[in-house]
Amino acid sequence: MKKYASLLLFALLLNGCDDGDLMVDTINFEDILESQSCPTTTSENTLIYKLKPQEALMLQMPKIGGLIEDDTIYTRDINNSTFRVVYRAYDGAVVTNNICSTIPPSTPKVTEEWLATNGKINITSAALTTTNDTDGSSVITGYSNNIEFTNITFAKSSSSIPQTNILYKFGTYSTTTKIPASLIFRSTTVNMCPINSKASDIKQVYNYNNSFYISIENISSNLIVNQATEPGKPRTALISATNNKVFYRTTALDTGTLTDSYFCNSTPPVTPAIDQEWSGQIAVPNVSGIIEVTTESAANIYTHKIVLKNVIMGKNHSTFKLGTSFVLGTLTTLATP
């Protein structure tokens, strides 16, 4: 009789188990190195996720105030509203549509859900760059974000007892970008401020396209001179904190385009709005941050070719190189009586 009772109990246990159910004690995604994200065309949030056959681990952050595009280390607080961490187990194979669809598919079903109620999101970001071996320039192509959670507490749907992890390594999430997006000017002509000023009165020179410009501000008075330079002997000056400051500025999307009227105003126009500003790093004599001007003359017209030598542009902790010899363009001045 005991033998039959044991067999009956075993049969009941078998019938009570769903082959698709996944019993979870710990979250383990360490073998999934790279994470993915949902398209964020219309959403105000960034949803980063990692998938296993029947499991998903998700991290939600706002677009603004979430990830930082910079070489830096920073922390965000999990608050279960704008910064959320969610784990889910399913009764079948889970795919991207289960995570990113506005209306998720009806299957597989969620069998267990863990919601992070508090903790820290620690992010170490590093720029991904490519270098042009021909001209020495570099481009930032994206950022690698190494994400860890510390003192993260989960409320579990299957238990009234919360679970806390002192350290949980979420993994790496990489973004793509292109900085600088473009360095192609509308022409080779460099302009000056004040407009049509004497060579000795020039304060700023610049060249631009419809979405960016590069300028040299508080330019040294001995750089632009109405006197031809000797062959192979250009005038030189160094980027400093006060003089010969080099800037690369880009316009914000859908705020207008740059035209001649934008420049040389006492107060910068509101539109187009400036999105990013990168500044030339302080020069190292004979090494980097050097401005060269070669002047030629014909009749009473002087042309000044302006070249930036080994200039490194920086914003916060990120940098890119304009190259060993970046031509800003040619400025034309007239001889004064």
Give, as one character, the DSSP assignment of residue 189. Answer: B
Residues 171, 29 within the same domain: yes
Beta strands in the chain (DSSP E): 36-37, 45-52, 55-62, 72-77, 84-90, 110-131, 138-156, 163-179, 191-193, 204-208, 212-217, 235-238, 245-251, 274-280, 290-298, 301-309, 311-315, 318-323, 326-334
Do 196 and 296 share a structural domain?
yes
Cα–Cα distance measured from residue 324 to residue 310, given in angstroms and rounded to the nearest whole number: 4
> Does 261 lie in the same domain as 145?
no
Model pLDDT, residue 266: 86
Write out the DSSP string of 131-165: E-TTT--EEEEEEEEEEEEEEEEEEETT-SS-EEE
Residues 302 and 209 in one domain: yes
Of 335, 245, 242, 323, which is closest to residue 288 (Cα–Cα)?
A: 323
125 and 145 Cβ atoms separated by less than 8 Å: yes
The tally of domains found in the chain comes to 2
The answer to whether residues 157 and 33 belong to one domain is: yes
pLDDT averages per 10-residue partition of the chain, 337 residues:
35 38 71 86 84 95 94 96 94 92 86 94 98 97 97 86 90 95 96 81 93 97 94 97 97 95 92 97 98 95 97 98 98 85
How many Å apart are CA 292 and CA 234, to the nearest integer? 6
3-state secondary structure of 323: strand
* Residue where a domain terminates, one of 144, 179, 214: 179
270 within a domain of the structure (yes/no): yes
Answer with the one of 179, 207, 222 that is the final residue of a domain: 179
88 and 128 in a common domain:
yes
Spell out the residues 6+ positions from residue 4 whose beta carbon is closer than 8 angstroms to its own.
none
By residue range, what is the domain housing residue 109?
A: 21-179
pTM: 0.85
Closest CA to 183 of 292, 320, 289: 320
Residues 240 and 100 in one domain: no
Q: What is the pLDDT of residue 92?
A: 94
Question: CB 83: neighbour CB atoms within 10 A?
Answer: 20
Residue 21: its pLDDT value, please?
Answer: 52
C-alpha closest to that of 207 among 248, 256, 255? 248
Does 270 share its domain with 317? Answer: yes
Is residue 48 in some structural domain?
yes
